[in-house]
Amino acid sequence: MSEDFLSNFLAKLGAGSKDTIYLSVTPGLGLEMCQIDQQTRTVKAYAVRELAYNEASRDITDYEAFKNAVAEMFEELKINPKCNVVVNMPLVSLGTMSFPLLLADDAIATGIISEVEQTYIFRRMEPAVAWQDVNSASNAGSDNRKILYSAIQQAVIDNISAALSSLGATLAGIEVSLASYLRALDFAGYTTAQMQDNVTWNLMVVSSNGYSLTSLVGKNVIDYYEEPLAIKTFEGDDIYNAIVASAQITLMSYPANYLYIISETDQVSAELLSKKIQADGNVDFLENNSFKKHEVLPVSLDILPDNVLKISLQAVGCATANISSYPLKFNFLGNKNITAAGEEPVSISFGDKSFEITPTAAMNMAVLIAVVVAVPLVLLGYMFLPKVESEQQQKLDDVNVKIQDIDEQLKKMEGEKSKASAFELKKEVEDVISFNRAKLMNYSAIGQSIPETVWITYFMTQDSGLVDIKGASTNVEDIYVFFKNMKDSLINTKLRLQKLDMQSASVDDLVSSSGPSNYEFEITNMDQSQLAALLGIVAGQGVNPNDPNAQNNNNNQGAGNGLLGNTPLNLGK
């Protein structure tokens, strides 16, 4: 299918191709029309006309002149006026604000409008606002949502849209100069080093009204600051001295690895300013004015030589709005972009051609395609449906038989299950959790309470809360301290000091020993019968011969009270 045949076919159905044209209102230069070749990354078409811009009111001076300039450039570049148009405008207002995460978008818009209405421009003109989230590390995990917003006069958008509509064109988008600058720097590769992940850098743009400083991390805008300066009132080096004096203070608040300077006014050279300003890190520059020595982007041979150096950075950035993936983009038109004749068009693509189809045309195409596809399907259905129906019925019968077999097996399994005793999973889990909790409390109490001179030789705990601890120490005082700490930590366990002896086989050994002796102890909340059962002692059967601890305890029974006895000492609370 040839491209001409496709275009004619779609035209008969009410569809047609629609190009997108990019305009830039550039102060000091005029109105630019720029087209970019995405494959070669060059400027393939360019035209420029003079157009006055009022920098005080931030508005086009004469919209009739704007319309005439657009019409002339359409004719010069042989562009069909029935096209979509994206217009770049000088930045009017930009800043950051923080809002609660749960705040709705309507409330955010109201908050931004209230903020921008404090400026002199929007006190008398209704603002159109757009915003996006600031993606920064400091913003992660916060309860607030940091917003980067921009505002432009709604009347400016309406006047531009009306002028384009009178020519048959449709306003498809509004770009602001800062976003166009960053997009062009990225597309042309001027800031490849700066736009790496986690690299901090500042973009300084000097205009006739002062300068702005944009703080970025990689490609993400973090903050924005604007300093008004009456640059036109200075002459010679006084201009640079005024900018440097102010910028040095501002840059202290925005430490970064790089500083990139762009001058869009003929009164300031970005190169000369970069040599005078003192900043941490590397300083780069780009002239976007009469000091420019080379083109911003390679150009086609079709571009007039006199226009090569006129191509501005913001015109290139605007022309790459739909082919660049740069994350900064403001949508001032909301849901009104790319509409025509009261119907929202449907966009379809064939190869590198884009076609706009109205809902009526899309309906006609859908009906035609449905008829073309449905007729063969109906014929095939009449031919093959009986055979397919028979095969599917046989498969259905087989499935029903299998279902019956499975139902019988399930009933049999349920009967066997009902005969088996139920396992109380919840009770078992609760018992295990309770036992583990008691163990952890005992371990924690020992770890927090034991002095340095006390060591544990035996420890036992049961799920019923019973505890038995045996150990030794170099002095009695630390044993009492350990015992008291254990009782304080395990309040409801009713611990007692069951045993406190010197470590010696007999009294004779103790008397004959000339060196320091250790003291062994036992702390427990078990009674004698529980201890006896624990050590394997059963009434009438003696001592478990396999338990050395039980043997020792049996030998020591009846040793008396006091320091060398095993009768419990009541030191409890």
What does the chain come to in residues?
Answer: 573
- DSSP result, 16-29: EE--EEEEEEETTT
Lookup result for tokens 């779609």:
10
Distance CA(290)–CA(263), nearest Å, equals 10
Say if residues 517 and 504 touch (Cβ distance below 8 Å).
Answer: yes
- DSSP result, 97-139: EEEETT--HHHHHHHHHHHHTTSTGGGTS-EEEEEEE---GGG
Q: Which of 339, 290, 331 is nearest to 310 (CA)?
A: 290
* Residues 18/19/20/25 CA torsion (nearest 10 deg): -120
pLDDT score, position 560: 36
Query: How confident is the model over 33-37, as a mean pLDDT?
Result: 95
Q: For 160-164, 212-216, 259-263, 407-411, which range has the lowest pLDDT when averaged over its residues?
A: 407-411
In this structure, which amino acid lies at residue 251?
A: L
pLDDT score, position 162: 96
Lookup result for tokens 């040793």:
559
Query: How confident is the model over 23-41, as a mean pLDDT?
Result: 94
Please enumerate in sequence order all residues whose Cβ is within 8 A of that of 179, keeping only pairs 6 or more positions apart, or say none. 317, 326, 328, 329, 330
* pTM attached to this predicted model: 0.59
pLDDT in tens, 338-379: 433 334 455 565 554 555 566 666 677 777 787 778 778 777
| Structure token pair of residue 547 | 């338990």
> What residues form DSSP beta bridges with 285?
261
pLDDT in tens, 247-293: 999 999 999 999 999 999 999 999 999 999 988 889 999 999 999 99
Task: Return the axis-axis angle of helices 425-449 and 476-489, rounded to nearest 10°.
Answer: 140
pLDDT in tens, 6-15: 555 554 554 5
In this structure, which amino acid lies at residue 281?
A: G
